[in-house]
Structure 1
Amino acid sequence: MALTGAQLHDLLQRKWGRSYDLQIFRRGERLYLQVMWRYLGQGSFALSEDQYEARLERISAYLSELGVQQQVVDFLMSTREKPRIGRAVSFALEVE
């Protein structure tokens, strides 16, 4: 299953009603996806809409390369956590 940036954006909108920023980071041997508390339209958000969409496209392409797109979809649909100021929602990616 391919996951586009637009689909990722739609998932974030349906889940939380906001276009939250995403980050992928490595801690030791583990990779994590983080849903940050910053979002498109927020006064302090540093990206324009075009930059945000390009960012989600890059992230979705990377997730597809890793083969973890279904894990991400499942996590986003099932988590009860919500990003709050100073606290991101983190998800450990199970990369083979």
Structure 2
Amino acid sequence: MTGTQLRDFLQRKWGRPYDVRLFRRGDRLYLQVMWRYLGQGTFALSEAQYDAHLERIGRQLRELGVEEQVIAFLERTREKPRIGRAVSLPLQLPE
């Protein structure tokens, strides 16, 4: 998954290019779609920085082998990021 593909998925799903993070709690790894988005007044990244960030996340998802999980999750979830609440996907890492 490239950063451009990830951005397109986010844009199609929710109409905004939301921020995403990889988050580790204990031995679990999560992909979190945050409530902040590119173009929001308080969003800390420029468009170039955001695109570079998504490229890094996309590369990590490829390296972990979880791209299909992310795509399936984004296609089926009914949750929406909202202030103070991220949409979280617990990643099942291949062995």
- Give the TM-score normalised by structure 2: 0.98
Which residue of structure 1 lines up, in the alignment, with residue 20 of structure 2? 22
> How far apart, CA to CA, are the structure 2 residues paired with 1:51 and 1:76?
23
The unaligned stretches of length 5 or more in structure 1 are: none
User: How many pairs align?
Assistant: 94
The one-letter code sitting in structure 2 at the alignment partner of 1:55 is H
Which residue of structure 2 lines up, in the alignment, with residue 90 of structure 1? 88
- Residue 49 (str. 1) matches residue 47 (str. 2): yes
Q: CA RMSD in A?
A: 0.4
- Three-state SS of the structure 2 residue aligned to 1:73 is helix
1:8-34 CA-partner distances (Å, limit 9, x unpaired): 000000000000000001101100000
Matches within 5 A, 1:31-46: 31-46=29-44
> How far apart, CA to CA, are the structure 1 residues paired with 2:73 and 2:32?
11
1:37-65 CA-partner distances (Å, limit 9, x unpaired): 00000000000000000000000000000
Q: In percent, how many aligned pairs have the same letter? A: 70
- Give the TM-score normalised by structure 1: 0.97
* Dislocated runs of 4+, deviation >2 Å: none
The unaligned stretches of length 5 or more in structure 2 are: none
